[in-house]
Structure 1
Amino acid sequence: MTDAPANTTFRLPGLEARAEIRIDRWGIPHIKAENEKDLFFVQGFNAARDRLWQLDLWRKRGLGLLAGDFGPGYLAQDHAARHFLYRGDMAPEWTAYAPDTQAICTAFAAGINAYVRLCDAEPARLPPEFDLFGTRPSRWEPADVVRIRSHALTRNGISEILRANIMALADAETDLLRFELAPPVSPRPEQGISLADIPLAAARLFKLATAAVTFDKARLAAPLDDVWKWTDVTDLGDIVQAITEEGSNNWAVHGSRTETGRPILASDPHRAHAVPSLRYLVHLEAPGLNAIGTGEPTAPGISLGHNDRIGFGLTIFGADQEDVYVYETKDGDWERYRYGDGWKKITRVEERFPVKGHPDQTLTLSFTRHGPILHEDRRKRQVIAMRSVWLSPGSAAYLGSLSYMRCASVQGFSETLEFWGTPSVNHVCADVDGNIGWFTAGFTPVRPNWEGLLPVPGHGSHEWDGFIPADQLPRMRNPPDGFVASANEMNLPADRDPNAPSIGHEWAEVSRAERIKSVLRTGARQTLKTSMALQTDVYSRPAAIICGLLEKTASRQALDERQKRATELLHGWDYCLEGTSAPAALFEIWWMKHLRPALLVRFAPNPIVRQLLLPGDVDRLLALLSQPGSHWDAGERDTMLLSTLSAGFSDCETRLGSEPALWRWGDVHRALFEHAASRIKTAGETDWNVGPLPIGGSRSTPMHAGYRMGDFGVNAGASVRLVLDIGDWDNSVCINTPGQSGDPRSPHYGDLSSLWSKGEYVPLLYSDARIAQETTHLITLLPA
């Protein structure tokens, strides 16, 4: 930078010594403090400075306090969220992540509150959303950081309820169209369980507790009498699809496979797109700690990034962390359920809920010994509840990183993973001594007598026997291949003892993982640029398989004019879903809007069942196409390929015009980062959305770009990407989208979105010298 940075100074009660925040020209804050207490205090202050509306909404959603700001339309969501708060002893909770967790969270919450007090004194600092809704931010308690569980990712309670409904209407093989199971297993209902008695309504409480906060005029204006009309604010299909979208990629390449001889580590977590971003890049420096990377702005520390000795990244690992239990209630006394040789009393807890414009409301929360009650049917004398690792100390999302972000080696990193509870993940790590490692982590229940795929009796026959010890979960250091990688695929070791406790059976499709590993296995020396290219790679395995089948079919069958034009467009294509590609547009519209639905109709004729199967297991559908076998004959398959191809071509003509050479996948496949309040703002007001931005890819490409089936609008994928040069840290690069700030008035609100959409990166600066060159704003913080 040639210009001197702008300077701001604050005096803050609670700060012990001078600290500073240096903001670089990409909006990344570099925080430096004299001690760790001040460091986490300033991290909280800075998170509020950039993301106060997001932090406040996250806290109120998680604690069940939305209705106090937004009215009766949010009371049902508050009621659901409170069922999934951590309600156990705080002593083991505070020590579950790191010995100093309580001190860190206390400092972090105090920093947030310091900024809230600053806004009280200077209301113009408040983000504009508070004026739009007429609300104000609340103060934080340290326990708020850890007690909220419902923003995290776990599995597979909803899936158990869906499987029960599908098997009641069809069979277990039909359910494989939704989730192929690996290792293979044939789920069967336990004695005494009638799958037909597991209603879809049993999923309502959980999906409402974990739903994003939505705003529309009808919900904001809902009267108190309509509270329970707002229990289905998110379609079940949206929740199911979200489960399939929430993946990630990561890898670490050994120095023996790189041009520099230093390891390279890459990580790009995938979640639903939003503005502001779910992730927030930050640099934390104090004596004994110098770490940079990303986490969620509501949590102290970082969970993906590096310190001066190690780099680390994560993806979701398919461990099963939930179970659904079904109980018989006592005849004549529905407050008691059978357990063991006797009856246990349902726990009912009455809590007060503030509601805007109304007196506080008192609602009842209900629990069994296993967890929150999801559904009660007094006529059938049945109660359904969920057990989740969320109820155990140490299962606040990502906070196990408070231990590993301060490690100095791959070995030391692995030794901290007993502190990692949720979400279940594949960690990759690399250190300056040249070591790399892959470590799965997360509380994984030991189920002695079942595999966790269907609801089970709650009378005591199906109990967890603790968690699998962290060092007994799959892991690997310095493998012969010279790299480790994961992309949410089934990656349990082939030689794992089949009699060992079940870990999980539901995984993401293998397409991203196969592509990543095939590229990393080539003899070429890896560089930062090859990792950046791989993170933004849009090669489609489904396209390669299906177009290969089409070529064979077209060679042996007469084609009509439309089919000829379609096959000519696809012939010679490299199967890359570039945003500027015409074949990509044709293939993706054909596959997802015509061929895939036709497969589901063929193998699941019941339309109710088909709705429960969406979006469908890609690997299973590809197998049915590639290997007709006993399921159907090749002739029927070929007829379906050609008939749906014709329909797909016509669909493209309708959407993109009559000239195929001008079709572009990015003309329909566009990313819009939609602000939660955008649908209640009046015409002419400043638009807080960012985009739409044309991009390539799909949910099957390494550059994950999941989209809504109705209009192909991109709504999930990598918000943040990191590529780390282990040991030469200033060479590392990153990108966050749409920007670092959550304040629509900030220049960093949407400034990174265009670079992101083009697959470009910005520096992840680490040294004082490089940070000084790029600092645009210096904030000095002094004790009051």
Structure 2
Amino acid sequence: PIISIHGVKVAVYWLGAQVSKDFASLMGVLHASNWTQFKAALSSWRAPSQNFVFGDRHGNIGLISAGYYPILSARDPWLVMNGNSGDRIVGSIPYREIPQSYDPKSGFVFSANQRPVAANYPYYLGTSFNFFSNGYRADEIHAVLSATSKITPADVAHLQNSVTDYLATQLVPWLVRQFNGVHEPPAVAAALHTLSHWNARMGASSTAASIWWTFLGDEIHDTFGPWFARYRVPQPTGSSLVVNQLSAPLVEDLQYMDLSQPSSPFFTPPGDAHKVTAGTVAREALGQAIATLTHKFGSSQQSWRWDRLHFREFPSLSGAAGLSYGPRGSSGDAWTVDAADGNLLSEAGPSWRMIVAFGDRGYAIYPGGQSENPLSPWYQNQIPDWFSGRYLPFGLGAQPGIATWTLEPRS
């Protein structure tokens, strides 16, 4: 296929065009009675790559990221490759070496679509820009699961609804330290006081959440904007850099430079003779964020609630606005376990929350309802429960049952 990106025509290779024996793989998974059979069943799974988790009655657990992972001859396969050169697919990662884990010492396996391998993994898998999610949700999940040896359904429900922004736990204390010994205006001092007492939760009523998110967008723009302009890099998000999914790699770069390379030359705009540090950019960005929030909501911090800035919407698949739900002010962001899609108007998130306590019962909630008829009372009836983090129980029988379905002609 040939597509056009910013006026440049490129040829694309799509893994989904190859044969993938999905049905046979899934039937093998359903009939597997141990890890060996489970893993063998997924060996023919090709695309899209998926995270499959395993558990048996003996307490063994595992996870395998089944899929076809191409090996490319290109030196930098995360960039657009030269179609006139020898850049091509030369093979695939051997199945035995694709990302997988079985009975790890930690006692748990999990996935938040993060990069599942370490830096020393010998094959290229992808980056956070074109494949994997930032690891911030994964970091929070790992921190919670590592803190306890036994977890209950209530603990899982609390984790699934967590709105703690892991990146904020790393950068906000650093930001506050950049103002040590600096005389700041009253509005900045008040914002710093709010941030210094914040628990990094992107709660609907949080004002610190709004300050943090707006600051981060300004810091990204102030750091990378001049470089983008200097080299005429197209900005698909509009006239300025903002925080969203497209800027995910820049967020990671900024985190690294702030914490480990505060004197990086990238903080100094190109052509500027005056050297700029991370602290200088951060202080200016926070001032800009306060000015933005003041202009938008007034000078009182009490009016800077996150749910006045951040919304969730359930758009109808038909595209008809009248059949959609929202927008509604909401908690969470792109890096909380209760994830949003990264924009201030979010249209994506955990579309199905489920907890299963084997041998006991399960709990689940589906955003929307169980009817496709907009006139039905069951069209949107579960959205309030989903927003509030409540679950509906369902039973798990001790023995598998048999269901008989019969098609009857209409009279």
Q: Where on the TM-score scale, by shorter chain, does this alignment land: which range?
A: 0.7 to 0.9
| TM-score of the superposed pair, with normalisation by structure 2 | 0.83
Structure 1 residues 477 and 754: alpha-carbon distance in aligned structure 2, compared to 1, 3 A threshold: same
Q: For residues 540-572 of structure 1, what are the alpha-carbon distances to aligned partners after superposition, in whole Å with 9 as ceiling and x for unaligned?
A: 122223321222112121101221121122221
Q: 1:629 and 1:691 mapped to 2: Cα distance?
A: 44
Structure 1 residues 583 and 566: alpha-carbon distance in aligned structure 2, compared to 1, 3 A threshold: same
Q: State the shift of 1:489 in Å.
A: 2.2
Q: 1:747 and 1:408 mapped to 2: Cα distance?
A: 42
Aligned to 1:628: 262
SS of the residue 2:48 aligns to:
coil
Q: 1:764 and 1:602 mapped to 2: Cα distance?
A: 55
Aligned to 1:601: 225
Structure 1 residues 596 and 450: alpha-carbon distance in aligned structure 2, compared to 1, 3 A threshold: closer
Larger relative contact order (C-alpha < 8 A, sep ≥ 6)? 1
Structure 1 residues 483 and 738: alpha-carbon distance in aligned structure 2, compared to 1, 3 A threshold: same
Q: 1:484 and 1:720 mapped to 2: Cα distance?
A: 19
Q: For residues 161-199 of structure 1, what are the alpha-carbon distances to aligned partners after superposition, in whole Å with 9 as ceiling and x for unaligned?
A: 9xxxxxxxxxxxxxxxxxxxxxxxxxxxxxxxxxxxxx6
Structure 1 residues 658 and 400: alpha-carbon distance in aligned structure 2, compared to 1, 3 A threshold: farther
Structure 1 residues 629 and 387: alpha-carbon distance in aligned structure 2, compared to 1, 3 A threshold: same
Aligned to 2:326: 691
Aligned to 2:271: none
| Larger strand share, 1 or 2 | 1
CA RMSD between the two structures: 3.2
Q: State the shift of 1:604 in Å.
A: 2.9
Aligned to 1:565: 190
Structure 1 residues 422 and 543: alpha-carbon distance in aligned structure 2, compared to 1, 3 A threshold: same
Aligned to 1:615: 247
Q: After the TM superposition, which residues 199-238 of structure 1 pair with which residues of structure 2 at under 5 Å, given as runs?
A: 200-202=6-8
Structure 1 residues 433 and 609: alpha-carbon distance in aligned structure 2, compared to 1, 3 A threshold: same
In the alignment, is the contact (CA less than 8 A) between 2:262 and 2:277 conserved in 1?
Answer: no
Aligned to 1:317: none
Structure 2 spans left out of the alignment, 5+ residues: 269-274
Structure 1 residues 657 and 474: alpha-carbon distance in aligned structure 2, compared to 1, 3 A threshold: same
Q: 2:120 and 2:12 mapped to 1: Cα distance?
A: 32
In the alignment, is the contact (CA less than 8 A) between 2:74 and 2:81 conserved in 1?
Answer: no
Aligned to 2:95: 470
- AA aligned opposite 2:262: P
In the alignment, is the contact (CA less than 8 A) between 1:417 and 1:470 conserved in 2?
Answer: no
Q: For residues 581-603 of structure 1, what are the alpha-carbon distances to aligned partners after superposition, in whole Å with 9 as ceiling and x for unaligned?
A: 121122222223x2222222244
Q: 1:607 and 1:674 mapped to 2: Cα distance?
A: 37
Aligned to 1:742: 372
Structure 1 residues 463 and 600: alpha-carbon distance in aligned structure 2, compared to 1, 3 A threshold: closer
SS of the residue 2:183 aligns to:
coil
Q: After the TM superposition, which residues 394-405 of structure 1 pair with which residues of structure 2 at under 5 Å, given as runs?
A: 394=20, 400-405=25-30
Deviating more after overlay: 486-495 vs 412-421: 486-495
In the alignment, is the contact (CA less than 8 A) between 1:720 and 1:737 conserved in 2?
Answer: yes
> 2:394 matched to 1:759?
no
Q: State the shift of 1:521 in Å.
A: 0.8
Structure 1 residues 567 and 463: alpha-carbon distance in aligned structure 2, compared to 1, 3 A threshold: closer
- AA aligned opposite 1:659: S
Q: 2:78 and 2:97 mapped to 1: Cα distance?
A: 22
Q: 1:602 and 1:722 mapped to 2: Cα distance?
A: 45
SS of the residue 1:517 aligns to:
helix
Q: State the shift of 1:479 in Å.
A: 0.7
Aligned to 1:207: none
In the alignment, is the contact (CA less than 8 A) between 1:539 and 1:576 conserved in 2?
Answer: yes
Q: 1:609 and 1:395 mapped to 2: Cα distance?
A: 41
Aligned to 1:186: none
Aligned to 1:653: 294
- AA aligned opposite 1:492: V
Aligned to 2:112: 487
In the alignment, is the contact (CA less than 8 A) between 1:535 and 1:703 conserved in 2?
Answer: yes
Aligned to 1:502: 124
Q: After the TM superposition, which residues 66-215 of structure 1 pair with which residues of structure 2 at under 5 Å, given as runs?
A: 200-202=6-8
SS of the residue 2:312 aligns to:
strand
- AA aligned opposite 1:666: D
In the alignment, is the contact (CA less than 8 A) between 1:431 and 1:726 conserved in 2?
Answer: no
- AA aligned opposite 2:258: L
Q: For residues 403-441 of structure 1, what are the alpha-carbon distances to aligned partners after superposition, in whole Å with 9 as ceiling and x for unaligned?
A: 323433343222211132222233222222211102121
Q: State the shift of 1:486 in Å.
A: 2.2
Q: 1:490 and 1:675 mapped to 2: Cα distance?
A: 31
Q: State the shift of 1:764 in Å.
A: 3.8
Aligned to 1:189: none
Q: State the shift of 1:576 in Å.
A: 0.8
Structure 1 residues 607 and 502: alpha-carbon distance in aligned structure 2, compared to 1, 3 A threshold: closer
Q: After the TM superposition, which residues 671-682 of structure 1 pair with which residues of structure 2 at under 5 Å, given as runs?
A: 671-677=312-318
Q: 2:142 and 2:213 mapped to 1: Cα distance?
A: 23
- AA aligned opposite 2:93: I
Aligned to 2:16: 390
Structure 1 residues 465 and 736: alpha-carbon distance in aligned structure 2, compared to 1, 3 A threshold: same
2:340 to 662, 685, 705: 705
- AA aligned opposite 1:611: Q
Structure 1 residues 736 and 402: alpha-carbon distance in aligned structure 2, compared to 1, 3 A threshold: farther
Q: State the shift of 1:482 in Å.
A: 0.5
- AA aligned opposite 2:406: L
Q: After the TM superposition, which residues 191-590 of structure 1 pair with which residues of structure 2 at under 5 Å, given as runs?
A: 200-202=6-8, 375=9, 384-394=10-20, 400-448=25-73, 450=75, 452-456=77-81, 461-493=86-118, 496=121, 498=122, 501-506=123-128, 507-590=132-215
Structure 1 residues 599 and 458: alpha-carbon distance in aligned structure 2, compared to 1, 3 A threshold: closer
- AA aligned opposite 1:394: S
1:717 to 341, 349, 366: 349
In the alignment, is the contact (CA less than 8 A) between 1:601 and 1:610 conserved in 2?
Answer: no
- AA aligned opposite 1:619: E
Q: State the shift of 1:715 in Å.
A: 1.7
Q: 1:446 and 1:550 mapped to 2: Cα distance?
A: 41
In the alignment, is the contact (CA less than 8 A) between 1:734 and 1:763 conserved in 2?
Answer: yes
- AA aligned opposite 1:625: D
Q: 2:7 and 2:404 mapped to 1: Cα distance?
A: 51
Q: For residues 77-130 of structure 1, what are the alpha-carbon distances to aligned partners after superposition, in whole Å with 9 as ceiling and x for unaligned?
A: xxxxxx69xxxxxxxxxxxxxxxxxxxxxxxxxxxxxxxxxxxxxxxxxxxxxx
SS of the residue 2:54 aligns to:
strand
Structure 1 residues 625 and 460: alpha-carbon distance in aligned structure 2, compared to 1, 3 A threshold: closer
Q: 2:405 and 2:87 mapped to 1: Cα distance?
A: 57
SS of the residue 2:110 aligns to:
strand
Q: 1:411 and 1:763 mapped to 2: Cα distance?
A: 33
Structure 1 residues 475 and 201: alpha-carbon distance in aligned structure 2, compared to 1, 3 A threshold: same
- AA aligned opposite 2:263: G
SS of the residue 2:373 aligns to:
coil
Which of the pair has more CA radius of gyration?
A: 1
Q: 1:560 and 1:595 mapped to 2: Cα distance?
A: 19
Q: State the shift of 1:610 in Å.
A: 5.5
SS of the residue 1:701 aligns to:
coil
In the alignment, is the contact (CA less than 8 A) between 2:311 and 2:330 conserved in 1?
Answer: yes
Q: For residues 16-47 of structure 1, what are the alpha-carbon distances to aligned partners after superposition, in whole Å with 9 as ceiling and x for unaligned?
A: xxxxxxxxxxxxxxxxxxxxxxxxxxxxxxxx
Q: State the shift of 1:519 in Å.
A: 1.0
Q: 2:52 and 2:134 mapped to 1: Cα distance?
A: 19
- AA aligned opposite 2:356: L
Structure 1 residues 767 and 608: alpha-carbon distance in aligned structure 2, compared to 1, 3 A threshold: farther
In the alignment, is the contact (CA less than 8 A) between 1:590 and 1:644 conserved in 2?
Answer: yes
Q: Percent identity?
A: 24
- AA aligned opposite 1:745: L
> 2:267 matched to 1:643?
no
Aligned to 1:285: none
Structure 1 spans left out of the alignment, 5+ residues: 1-82, 85-157, 162-198, 203-374, 376-383, 682-686, 772-777
In the alignment, is the contact (CA less than 8 A) between 1:395 and 1:420 conserved in 2?
Answer: yes
